[in-house]
Amino acid sequence: MKTPSHQGIVPIFKPSGMTSSAVTAKIKRFLGKKTGHFGTLDPMASGVLPVMLGGATKLSEYMPETKEYTAVLKLGYRTDTGDVTGKTVATADIPALTRENIEKVLLSFMGEIMQTPPIYSALSVNGKRLYEYAVRGEEVEIKSRPITIYGIELVNFINDEITFKVNCGKGTYIRTLCEDIAKKLGTEGTMSALERILSGGIQKENCVDFDEFISSDDPYKYVIPPSEYLSFYPAVNLNKTAVSYYKNGGEINSERAEGLSIGIFRVFFENTLLGLGKGYCKEEKLYLKAVWHCIEDENQ
């Protein structure tokens, strides 16, 4: 009996204290399959960590980029790492604050803003990770870059801690956001807790705890197959003569791809997902070309 192919997305809820790469590596050893993760989480953070299996490891650029977090900002001091695991590098008095002025400051971060990534991060500059510069005490220029905050709201404010929820685009560092919020409030601050509640289109409530997954007798029951996961993309249906062109990377005109327009599409033939394709216009005609194939080989 042939072993069924298993590729797709595992909706893991990462525990605090583990790196994202350690989670992925343990799942790789457990399943004996190629793995990757979407959106790195800091070791101290917990939350949604989509883990890609098999051929789905090439899906990351086609996954929804919006992420959502619940963060706790501790006021009165700042650390070298931007969170409570680091060394204190600055302290400041905490001014008298009200929910009203905290909410006003939070809302000032809405939209596209400039943010400088933290030195303790995995971002590459001149071919080297920023944290490598940090641990060696080397100086490096870190350029600010645009990020987008789609939504931000105050959850709670007690004593010197502010809990807030933020919905943001790719490349956003919540540690840095915490520091910037504190500065705008007239003090220093550092991130004391972080939980990611949405990533890659997957909500916290739809995740499986990491320990539960790697101790399961049937781990594949948790895997979201590509045909289900990619439902946020519209579908096109190929006729029989177009299938080989698609699989071999050829151009397919709109006459052989029902429902085609410009953009990314799930590509089907007779209700079977073949992969993803990109619709584009050339010489005033619509064409489709494969960008990701749904590989059914167990070893891929």
Residues labelled as active-site residues: 42
Using the CB atoms, write b or e for 53-87: b if 16+ within 10 Å.
bbbbbbbeeebebebbbbbbbbbbbbbbbbbeebe
DSSP state of 78: E
Which residues is 174 bridged to in the sheet?
none
CA separation for the pair 270, 165 (Å, rounded): 43
Q: How many residues does this entry show for the chain?
A: 300
Burial-class residue 129 by CB neighbours within 10 Å (0-12, 13-18, 19+). middle
CA separation for the pair 71, 50 (Å, rounded): 19
CA torsion through residues 126, 132, 137, 141, sign? positive
Structure token pair of residue 41: 């989480």
Where does 108-221 have alpha helices with state H? 130-136, 174-184, 210-214
Residue-wise DSSP of 242-294:
GHHHHHTT--EEGGGEET--SEEEEEEETTEEEEEEEEEEETTEEEEEEEEE-
